[in-house]
Each structure stands twice: as structure tokens, then as C-alpha cells.
């Protein structure tokens, strides 16, 4: 089966970002760092020896971080969803990924980290609460969710219960 590896384009912070993410998620590691050489300097303009790509894993999911320059920026059209079993997990990932990020981008379980990458920190129970057979209960959950920045499992469950 083909493996799909997201590639994240950074200006020049690929190594710092990979280290940041690896420090947050369990079972994570830097796999390899590749550096620019003299070949292609007229195209990439990067000094020989500087970091080109960092291959890393977050809880077993492979990623590549590329120092490609300031041409492209992250936006909310792509985000990474982190499913959390407990409120403690929600709190952990929210607090760690928010550190140094954009407070204006925090809403409904979404956040933007210090590198501009968008994340959704989602309690696993949310799928059941929103997708239940009772549309009135699901609507109450959605209304509660829309009032939250970081999702609160107890608050969502209270809304579901009515």
C-alpha cells in the first residue's frame, strides 16, 4: 500500500517545528535531517549545509518538514485533527499546541500553533454526540460547541443531556 506523508512547507523553521511537535506527541521521533548542498543553489538560494527537510513521526504518522522559503503560508484549508479520549488529553494537546500560537484563531476546538499550522483538538465522544439519532440533542451540542474555544467534554455532554 502506498504511504501518504504530509509535507509541511516552512520558511526556515522546519527543524524547530519538528522538534516542537515531537516534544508534544508520544511515540514520536526525528527520523532524518537532509541538508542543502551546492547543487541547485541558483534555484533554492539556501546556504550549503542548511536544513532542507526533516522527516519525523508523530505517534507513528510520518511527516516531512521542508525549508522552502517564504513563498507559501499555511492556512486553515488544511488542518490536523487530534482525537482525544479524555479531557486531560484535550487539555494537554490544546495547551502545548497553543503555546506561542495565534489566540484569535482559537475557536470550536480549532487552534493555530506558533508556526501557523491549524489543529483540531477533538474529544472522541464528540462524534457520538453530534452524530446521534436525536437531532434535538445534536443541535444542543453544536450550539454549546460554538461557544467554546477549547472543547469541554463535560459541557458537551451536559448539552446533549439537556
pLDDT tens, position by position, 66-81: 999 999 999 999 999 9
The pLDDT of residue 1 is 60
The pLDDT of residue 40 is 84
**Count H helices, E strands: the chain?**
6, 7
Task: Identify whether residues 51 and 88 lie together within a single domain.
Answer: no
Q: Would you say residue 128 has pLDDT above 70?
A: yes
**Which of 33-37, 38-42, 91-95, 103-107 shows the lowest per-residue confidence on average (mean pLDDT)?**
38-42
The pLDDT of residue 60 is 93
Residue 120 Rama label (left phi>0; alpha psi -120 to 50; beta): beta
Task: Identify whether residues 128 and 153 lie together within a single domain.
Answer: yes
Domain range for residue 133? 79-161
Q: Kindly state the average pLDDT of the residues 146-151.
A: 98
Coil, strand or helix: which one is 115?
A: coil
Task: Identify whether residues 103 and 32 lie together within a single domain.
Answer: no
Residue 100 Rama label (left phi>0; alpha psi -120 to 50; beta): left
Q: Which of 15, 36, 67 is the last residue of a domain?
A: 67
Domain count, the chain: 2
Task: Identify whether residues 83 and 147 lie together within a single domain.
Answer: yes
Q: Which of 17, 35, 67 is the last residue of a domain?
A: 67
pLDDT band at residue 158 under the 50/70/90 scheme? very high
CATH code of residue 143: 3.10.180.10
pLDDT band at residue 45 under the 50/70/90 scheme? confident
The pLDDT of residue 129 is 95
Amino acid at each position: 500500500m502506498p504511504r501518504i506523508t504530509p509535507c509541511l512547507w516552512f520558511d526556515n523553521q522546519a527543524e524547530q517545528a519538528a522538534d516542537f511537535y515531537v516534544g508534544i506527541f508520544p511515540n514520536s521521533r526525528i527520523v532524518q535531517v537532509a541538508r542543502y548542498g551546492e547543487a541547485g543553489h541558483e534555484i533554492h538560494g539556501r546556504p550549503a549545509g542548511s536544513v532542507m527537510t526533516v522527516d519525523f513521526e508523530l505517534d507513528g504518522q510520518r511527516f516531512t518538514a521542508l525549508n522552502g522559503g517564504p513563498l507559501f503560508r499555511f492556512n486553515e484549508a488544511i488542518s490536523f485533527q487530534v482525537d482525544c479520549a479524555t479531557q486531560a488529553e484535550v487539555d494537554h494537546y490544546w495547551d502545548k499546541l497553543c503555546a506561542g500560537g495565534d489566540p484569535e484563531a482559537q475557536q470550536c476546538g480549532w487552534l493555530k500553533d506558533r508556526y501557523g499550522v491549524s489543529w483540531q483538538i477533538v474529544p472522541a465522544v464528540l462524534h457520538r454526540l453530534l452524530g446521534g439519532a436525536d437531532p434535538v440533542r445534536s443541535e444542543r451540542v453544536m450550539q454549546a460547541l460554538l461557544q467554546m474555544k477549547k472543547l469541554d467534554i463535560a459541557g458537551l455532554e451536559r448539552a446533549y443531556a439537556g
